[in-house]
Structure 1
Amino acid sequence: MARQTGVLHFAGMTQRQKKEVARPGETVALPALVHTSHQTAVLAPDFGSAPALCLRAAYSYPQVKRLDFGKITPQTVDFFKSVVGEAAVVTDQDDLLFYNEDQMRKYRGQSSLCVKPKTTQQVSEIVKYCHEHRLALVPQGGNTGLVGGSVPVFDEIVLSLSGMNKIRSFDHTSGILKADAGVILENADNFLAENGYIFPLDLGAKGSCHIGGNVAANAGGLRLLRYGSLHGSVLGLEVVLPDGTVYDSMNALRKDNTGYDLKQLFIGSEGTLGVITGVSILCPARPKAVNIAFLGLESYEAVQSTFKRARAELCEVLSAFEFMDRQSQWQAKRFLKTPHPLAQDDPDVDVPEYPFYVLIETSGSCKEHDDAKLETFLESIMEDGTVADGVVSQDESQLRTLWTWREGISEASNMDGGVYKYDVSLPLPVMYDLIEVLRARLDEHGLRSLSDASKPVVDVVGYGHIGDGNVHVNVVVREYNKTVEKCLEPYVYQWISDHHGSISAEHGLGFQKKNYIGYSKSAVEIALMKDIKSKFDPQGIMNPYKYL
């Protein structure tokens, strides 16, 4: 990787200055929960209160009681087998664990039935039956969500879209892809790559998440700066409504100004208004030249200045601008176990002592043009001291390596025992203040220490998408702890509201944040959302206990 040290320098390095920087509602009722601090919880069946639980430690959840939905009977199972076949109906308790438990291992439902249809017609028959018998169901994609939105709370039927995994069509001229909702994001992108196009969304979970789930959650990801949100990319949807009716707007039109744009209601609805079964999406041409610069900076103000100048000077080729604090890089270092990009020549340094790091990606159609623009930009910000150090990728392998230091943070944050994740939007000037405020608050309560194992919190790390004002706050803990949770919530949501932010930038509301929506939405907005939910799903069978 080419090195930047004060001036553009593609071979070797010069002495660089180093600065010493210190390293970094209601109450819960869990049914028959037995735990030890680092062991798996044991849950006795009890439908009287919420079965959601956190593994490895006791946790606090809103009090929830099972609503008056129908119960699964042998006749229910037989009917679903007649629709999808016996092999596509899961009733074994061990096999059901994957569908009952979320990725973070915080929430576990008690569903005794998972159905895996392969066609929209099968989904329609399943949902119609549930409607007629008032059976609650949870649409589930790759189950990679982070707010408990894709797993049951009680005994809801899991409707897995994993069997709907076909590419329906692709227009090589317009770049419009039509596909089943259960197509894995990485598979869709690989298909498009073979045809010279790119999926307008990229996530760390791309190897598991489904494009239908991405749309249902309105996922943001790493390409939003360049390609915008799914509200702009999605051209049409196929959705099975709560009564089994199929809403089909799988058109390939970029312009259709006839009436309400109903598909927008389902983008970000988290399975509460219907089951997305098909997606029509506009995909851009795949860039032929991609560069990555990985930079070290001395302050958050320098991060903002670098972003402002990158937008102006890199403009049409700027495709990603990610920031990371030193604490997040320290977490990633423990997970990746490889030399840090800015410490390749100093094996004694785990992570260089810059408080902030930035990853800039450019992508375009002409390598010489893009290289020249990036080189000019880097020379400028290095010479005036905005950036202290940096490297530039020289090939595809180095490009992927640099991305791992951003994408590996999330998984690395789980290494100590657990993590409280807050995915929020804030105005750029105050975005990093939230991390500093939370560190100070946890210190005031005597809860945080890097070295003292008796303290429940290891550290607070911050990273995210500067390009769209989205910061990921990871409170790394040795175990989930009620005292920590009470210290964090609702304080963190009130702080975000006071600073005109959103409590969820891209992960959604799910089960975790449903009771806090009032910190981001007005009473009028919430009432309108409830009216829409009631109109589409008057029985409330679609993904209950979530969202609203």
Structure 2
Amino acid sequence: MLSTAKTPGDKVFAFVKRYLHGKSALTKDIYDVKRENFNKLQNHHVQFFKDLLGDRTITDLHELEKYNQEWMRCVRGYSALALKPKTTGEVSEILKYCNDSNLAVCPHGGNTGLVGGAVPVFDEIVLSAELMNDIIHLDANSGVLVCQAGCVLENLDAIVAEAGLMVPIDLASKGSCHIGGNVATNAGGLKLLRYGNLHGNVLGLEVVKADGTIIDCLSTLKKDNTGFHLKHLFIGSEGTLGFITKVALQCPTRPKSVNVAFLGLNNFDKVLKTFKEAKHDLGEILSAFEVMDTATIEFMKEKLDISSPIGKYPFYLVIETSGSREEHDAEKLNFFLQSCLEQNIVSDGIMATETHKVNAIWSIRERVPDGFRKCGHLFCYDISLPLENYYLLVEDMTKHMGNMAIRVFGLGHMGDSNLHIQIEVEEFSRDLKNYIEPYIFQRTKQLKGSISAEHGMGFLKAKYLDFARPSSNVQMMKDLKRILDPKGIMNPYKVFPW
């Protein structure tokens, strides 16, 4: 019975085993991973946090559900405690206490990842940024935004839009992902082709180390060469080196003119030619170049009843331009499309300039993840590949899976060589996962790619870090981890092989 449980963690574990059996297996039961030597949460620990945060200390078993399971249902922990601080000072006190008490911590943002990086593996205390959502300062002259890490990306973009600016990152999950999580995973997204990655757009960070020390790198200057650029240690570190509390972000001018084209093509060679033509003809106004295969559109039709507006083709492109003069930009895009049609590179297409039509076209691409949870199970991989090898992996995995998969489909940010490959199956099994991995990563390496383009390593890819990086690089990462987090309490079992 639950009443016989000795600790808060035991209560949650008993609850999970009793009420969730068969619905979502625990990560520890699926994977060969052992709990590290952290202390278990005790009642006096919980009381400390209640004294500090009051009702922002979450212990209700049902409320803890959203913190314990990733949205794709691929990983599941059994944390007995989620904490929702509002200030950097509170984060500092929490981490100092956890470090002194040898309690493991799992940083948690919008929970939109695909590699199990933001949920517990065992009973780690969840440290959520969801109430750290204040805008601290917006300088319309310099285009610099300073905000707390828990701000939702879409909300930030709406706020800076009032000053004629835009957030330089655009993700399908923008309605729920946090800017702190975006920075912690060095997220890429739809507009990286135009605006670059977060290493180039983050001007400064405030971070709390594992021992509670507050690191103030919150510079808002574009040029500051006074010593090491420490902020870059935390961009892409996935919460393993510290907890990001504030972000200073460079926001470019919001375009006055946005045009989108949706195109159909008959083979991948023509996709490559179209990309080359787009860079040449559209140049400074090209802001996105997305590719989808026909299996992706079939998936969208089946799961969400969303169809191609131009009929069936082996490949589809969503091309966006953004600039300051509507007539100029529309003319350039029109010239580009006519040229591609005349050369028989593109078979068919439509173009949109009105906002509601632009959004309708983008929704075909952006709503793909909405269909993920309508599957029995989906193995999702986030890969970077040289463009000449970009689609080879989809073809290879289709052959490798044979009739074991319902479908294999690929889509992604072709403008920055980022492929998202999905393998839909009836249900998850370890045998299937072992058949897919490490084969898909080995093929990626053979094709001179990266096994993680923008979602990070998290838990699900962590054991392949040694495979993906030279041993000297991995050793330096481990050395940095030991310096900044000697007890290893920050997001254990993530990034590094377990």
In the superposition, the TM-score normalised over structure 1's length comes to: 0.86
Q: Does 1:74 align with 2:74?
A: no
Query: Which residue pairs with 2:172 in the alignment?
Result: 204
One-letter code aligned to 1:82:
D
Query: Which residue pairs with 1:144 in the alignment?
Result: 112
Q: How does 1:125-274 map to 2 (within 5 A)?
A: 125-274=93-242
One-letter code aligned to 2:412:
G
As a proportion of its length, which structure holds more helix?
A: 2
Q: Does 1:365 align with 2:324?
A: yes
Task: Give the secondary-structure state (helix, strand or coil) at the position aligned to 1:93.
Answer: coil
**Conservation of the 8 A alpha-carbon contact between 1:34 and 1:41:** no
Pair 238,42 (structure 1): closer, same or farther in 2 beyond 3 Å: closer
One-letter code aligned to 2:471:
A
TM-superposed deviation, 1:60? 4.6
Q: Which whole-Å CA distance do the structure 2 matches of 1:129 and 1:495 have between them?
A: 45
The CA deviation string for residues 219-246 of structure 1, in whole angstroms up to 9 with x for no partner, is 0001101100000000000000111000
TM-superposed deviation, 1:335? 3.1
TM-superposed deviation, 1:423? 0.3
Q: Which whole-Å CA distance do the structure 2 matches of 1:71 and 1:491 have between them?
A: 37
Task: Give the secondary-structure state (helix, strand or coil) at the position aligned to 1:506.
Answer: coil
Q: Which whole-Å CA distance do the structure 1 matches of 2:461 and 2:307 have between them?
A: 37
Pair 95,380 (structure 1): closer, same or farther in 2 beyond 3 Å: same
Q: Does 1:41 align with 2:23?
A: yes
**Conservation of the 8 A alpha-carbon contact between 1:296 and 1:390:** yes
Query: Which residue pairs with 1:516 in the alignment?
Result: 464
**Conservation of the 8 A alpha-carbon contact between 2:300 and 2:307:** no
TM-superposed deviation, 1:251? 1.3
**Conservation of the 8 A alpha-carbon contact between 2:105 and 2:124:** yes
Percent identity for Structure 1 against Structure 2: 48
The CA deviation string for residues 80-117 of structure 1, in whole angstroms up to 9 with x for no partner, is 12222x21000011110111111111111111011100
Q: Does 1:439 align with 2:398?
A: yes
Q: Which whole-Å CA distance do the structure 2 matches of 1:152 and 1:522 have between them?
A: 28
Q: Which whole-Å CA distance do the structure 1 matches of 2:373 and 2:395 have between them?
A: 20
Structure 2 portions without partners, runs of 5+: 1-12
Aligned length: 483
Task: Give the secondary-structure state (helix, strand or coil) at the position aligned to 1:124.
Answer: helix
**Conservation of the 8 A alpha-carbon contact between 1:310 and 1:377:** yes
Task: Give the secondary-structure state (helix, strand or coil) at the position aligned to 2:106.
Answer: strand
Q: Which whole-Å CA distance do the structure 1 matches of 2:476 and 2:36 have between them?
A: 22
Question: After TM superposition, what 4+ stretches of structure 1 lie above 6 angstroms from structure 2?
Answer: 30-35
Pair 158,39 (structure 1): closer, same or farther in 2 beyond 3 Å: closer
Q: How does 1:72-471 map to 2 (within 5 A)?
A: 72-84=41-53, 86-343=54-311, 352=312, 354-443=313-402, 446-447=403-404, 457-471=405-419
**Conservation of the 8 A alpha-carbon contact between 1:34 and 1:42:** no
Structure 1 portions without partners, runs of 5+: 1-29, 44-50, 54-58, 344-351, 448-456
Pair 521,31 (structure 1): closer, same or farther in 2 beyond 3 Å: farther
**Conservation of the 8 A alpha-carbon contact between 1:501 and 1:520:** no
Pair 368,167 (structure 1): closer, same or farther in 2 beyond 3 Å: same
Q: Which whole-Å CA distance do the structure 2 matches of 1:428 and 1:340 have between them?
A: 25
Q: Which whole-Å CA distance do the structure 2 matches of 1:304 and 1:191 have between them?
A: 37
The CA deviation string for residues 398-444 of structure 1, in whole angstroms up to 9 with x for no partner, is 1111111111222324423110001000100011000000111112x
The CA deviation string for residues 240-273 of structure 1, in whole angstroms up to 9 with x for no partner, is 0111000011111000111111100100000000
Q: Which whole-Å CA distance do the structure 2 matches of 1:318 and 1:132 have between them?
A: 51
TM-superposed deviation, 1:166? 0.2
Query: Which residue pairs with 2:6 in the alignment?
Result: none
Q: Which whole-Å CA distance do the structure 2 matches of 1:252 and 1:543 have between them?
A: 28
